[in-house]
Structure 1
Amino acid sequence: MFAWSYKTPYMNDDLYFANAKWGALFSLGVNDYLGSNGRIFGQTFTRFILSKGVCFSSLCTAALFIALLIILFYLSRSITKNVICSPRIIAITVMVFLFTPSFGSVFLWRAGVGNYLAMAVMELLFLLLIYHPISNQILSYILVIGLGFIAGWGNENTSGAIILICTLLLAKTYMQNHKVPLAPLLGTLSAISGFVFLLLSPGSQIRLKVSVSGYSQLSTFAKLRRGIAMFIDYFTSTFPLSLVFISMVVVVLVVSMMFWKQNSSFWDGLIFIIGGVASAMVMIISPSGTDAGRTYLGSFLLLLTGMMLLVPQNLEGQRGLKCLYLCTVSVMTIMCFFSVAKGIQESDVLNNQLRARYSYIMRSKSKEIRVEPVHYINNNYSLSTAYAELTSPRDSQAFPNNCYQVYFNRSVYLK
């Protein structure tokens, strides 16, 4: 992941956020919250990652990717105090590479790393502390309150799903033990408070008016029809991988109801799947992002965790199901190898064009530069899923022209 990120050039928002000063990270985040984007933590993480150049950002990306996988291993009980289950670890790793929506815009695009990967690590770490509390109560209270606030102030659909999962876990605990643990309750309340700050952001309202003009004038029915159409268009455009993953979740859910209802993690798996479905379905009523794969990262990770919780650690005595499970993991591993190998090759096509463009801009002595458009084929493992091209009109403040203006201190337009 470090090498892959290191070979990936900056793109659009990366240029705008590059070389941010550490001392100004918080104040710039507050300015975003008030004027352009309510995701203050995601924006701050992005600036931090990009503050010290390409090598530092690539190290951060690799560290966050490793952290995400390790948290998924513990959250799905693939690693416990007594057991390290290798097939489950392989299955989770392969599915992250194979099924992550818009992989490139989450793990390779540095603005996506800050806003989505870093936030996913914080959100899942918070759930891990809720799901597996630590023994030190004081430290547990401090961590769940702090991480809960960050998780609630994350991404609108994922943060809402995190709060839903916490609420359901608290309800399950109360029904089983007739009491509610204090640490998870404090964490849930902290997440709710962070979520309120996110929803009330003035910057988000300003961004909505600029990016989706006329949305507020639509009727409720028109908004719903628009959201459903965009939701369906997105999932049909990602066929067949999205269908394969959704089918796997449904199959595991049905099999678990038939054979594994006595599994100790059965209800937890259902709760995580409910959260994942809610995180995806709420995008139907979202004014923007419905057709952007990166907005479904949280939904995917929650569904993946729920699906793995439904599968028992030990399938001894169920030879047919165990054979099917191991065969499925083997086939996915082979598919993953070829998909990623091909994706890395295709990502170089876009990367090389961006590097050539930046080199041309830096060599040019003119203050106003016209460049050729970038040509690429959409690929899950490249920057294409988040790429926005320069505009032709001479408007240096239009996106992403303003990013080039800030980074190169020159006006750059398409020929």
Structure 2
Amino acid sequence: MAVSKTNKKNVLTGIIGIIILGITIVTVYLTQKWVPVMMDDLWYSTKLSDDTPIRNARDIFEAQVWHYNNWGGRSMAHTLLQFILLTGAKCADVLNTCAIVLTGMIVLKFAGLSGKKETCIGEYLIKLSIIIGCIHGLNANWEMSMYWQSGAANYLYITMFIMAFIYVYVREIMASFNGEASLSKKISGIDIWIVPLAIIVGWSNENMGPTSFLIAVFAIAVNIYKHQKVKIWMILGAIFCAAGCAVCILAPGNFVRSGQVVSNNYGIVWQIYLRFYGMFKGYLEYLFPVIVLTAAVAVFVIFVLKQSLKIQEIVLLAAGIVSCGAMLLSPHFPDRASYGSMMCFILADALMLRRAVKADSKCMIGVYIVGGVIWLRAMYILSEFLGISWGWIL
């Protein structure tokens, strides 16, 4: 009888999960369709040096060589952008929707590091929907970071690579620092694929690339401190990530572009003021919702559950803080650029909440309530956008 009740509960949860995720994916896809190809998308659809449309991989390569020397060093993101634009708007809508779902799955993969995985597929689907909701509901600018194609390539897609890179190092930190033997098993083929992944991550953007490198270095330091063997892939990842960072930051195009920023001609005191203003705007405006949520989760774990923060959670929290703080070095900090930092906080939340549920299963009720509210907010803002686009909201 107990087994029968469990099966019925799992079936019901599965149905609910399918419905909620279905609503989420359909809403996301429809929104993708109604965000037009615009602004920088139109320029990146060309060879950049002139108005000739890109037609093949050779055109994209030539465009990126010109871009690297004349406008900026984010070659990985913009190469990906041009390939996606080359596939056409319909294909791009599908790819972007899949990328958003995959991002949610990566967050759940991170959460799995804290143990107590989902007991049924329905539970997984509901949590996946909540995470997708959080990525929208806590986002400083969901449209420009995930739906505008130029923003999606620079933030949505690139951050997936960054999270994959961070995952293997956080996993290693947990294995070494916490003595979790179950995480010490080598990931298949990592000695090979860590190199291209590290290059992509380092060559991604000016704040998350260096932050990822620091996490890699910290993981190596932890192994040395704990008298653990430093694995070859850890060293390769750190070296090639650093190389990618250097290639990205030292691109001649960055200096050309910087020379066109008006604020760089201001006095030194004025420039310092504006840099700090931009950084604190990141913390207190762009990232404020996710920081408040993270603080609430941390307070609950520490003072209610009486548990200290784990090293992996501290690393991710530090990554969110440092990656936003790094924008102090940039004369321009648009809200969409806070996406990577937001994801670091969401990853930390996922780890803390999974651990909380492991300690007390009743915590799952709170996760569903708070997560459900954020999911509803996400569906509201996307539905509002669709209503305006369709002319239903005047």
Task: Say whether the 8 Å CA contact 1:260–1:311 is kept in structure 2.
Answer: no
The offset of 1:299, in angstroms, is: 0.3
Distance in 2, Cα, partners of 1:132 & 1:200: 31
Matched, 1:163 2:207: no
Equivalent residue, structure 2, for 1:215:
264
Question: What one-letter code is carried by the residue in structure 2 that aligns with 1:117?
Answer: L
> Please, which of 272, 277, 287 is the counterpart of residue 229 of structure 1?
277
- Match of 1:51, SS state, is helix
Matched, 1:56 2:91: yes
Task: Say whether the 8 Å CA contact 1:107–1:113 is kept in structure 2.
Answer: yes
Equivalent residue, structure 2, for 1:365:
none
Equivalent residue, structure 2, for 1:404:
none
Classify 1:29/1:135 alpha carbon distance in 2 versus 1 (closer, same or farther; 3 Å): farther
Distance in 1, Cα, partners of 2:91 & 2:228: 49
The offset of 1:246, in angstroms, is: 1.4
Distance in 2, Cα, partners of 1:319 & 1:71: 23
Classify 1:234/1:269 alpha carbon distance in 2 versus 1 (closer, same or farther; 3 Å): closer
Equivalent residue, structure 2, for 1:332:
374
Task: Say whether the 8 Å CA contact 2:321–2:341 is kept in structure 1.
Answer: yes
Distance in 1, Cα, partners of 2:301 & 2:376: 26
Task: Say whether the 8 Å CA contact 1:43–1:114 is kept in structure 2.
Answer: yes
Classify 1:344/1:206 alpha carbon distance in 2 versus 1 (closer, same or farther; 3 Å): same
Classify 1:248/1:81 alpha carbon distance in 2 versus 1 (closer, same or farther; 3 Å): closer
Question: What one-letter code is carried by the residue in structure 1 that aligns with 2:277?
Answer: A
> Please, which of 203, 221, 228 is the counterpart of residue 153 of structure 1?
203
Measured against aligned partners, the alpha-carbon deviations of 1:49-98 in whole angstroms (never above 9, x if no partner) come to 10132112222212322222222221232897964663643432221121
Equivalent residue, structure 2, for 1:270:
314
Q: What 5-or-longer segments of structure 2 have no aligned partner?
A: 1-27, 46-52, 173-183
Equivalent residue, structure 2, for 1:202:
252
Distance in 2, Cα, partners of 1:169 & 1:256: 24
Measured against aligned partners, the alpha-carbon deviations of 1:218-269 in whole angstroms (never above 9, x if no partner) come to 32x432211222344566666xxx4332111112223333466768x82101
Q: TM-score, normalised by structure 1?
A: 0.74
Structural mapping, 1:99-178, within 5 Å: 99-132=138-171, 139-178=189-228
The offset of 1:277, in angstroms, is: 0.6
Classify 1:66/1:137 alpha carbon distance in 2 versus 1 (closer, same or farther; 3 Å): closer
Equivalent residue, structure 1, for 2:326:
282
Task: Say whether the 8 Å CA contact 2:353–2:367 is kept in structure 1.
Answer: no
Distance in 1, Cα, partners of 2:270 & 2:202: 29
RMSD, aligned α-carbons: 3.1
Equivalent residue, structure 1, for 2:8:
none
Distance in 1, Cα, partners of 2:307 & 2:273: 41
Equivalent residue, structure 2, for 1:14:
41
Which segment drifts farther, 179-188 or 275-284?
179-188
Matched, 1:294 2:336: yes
- Match of 1:312, SS state, is helix
Distance in 2, Cα, partners of 1:112 & 1:167: 29
Distance in 1, Cα, partners of 2:296 & 2:351: 14
The offset of 1:301, in angstroms, is: 0.4
Q: How many residue pairs were aligned? A: 344
Structural mapping, 1:370-389, within 5 Å: none
The offset of 1:192, in angstroms, is: 0.6
Structural mapping, 1:255-266, within 5 Å: 255-258=300-303, 266=310
The offset of 1:33, in angstroms, is: 0.6
Which segment drifts farther, 98-107 or 78-87?
78-87
Equivalent residue, structure 1, for 2:298:
253
The offset of 1:317, in angstroms, is: 6.0
Q: What 5-or-longer segments of structure 1 have no aligned partner?
A: 353-376, 378-415
Equivalent residue, structure 1, for 2:387:
345
From the two aligned structures, give the one with the greater helix fraction.
2
Matched, 1:69 2:104: yes
Q: TM-score, normalised by structure 2?
A: 0.77
Distance in 1, Cα, partners of 2:95 & 2:257: 28
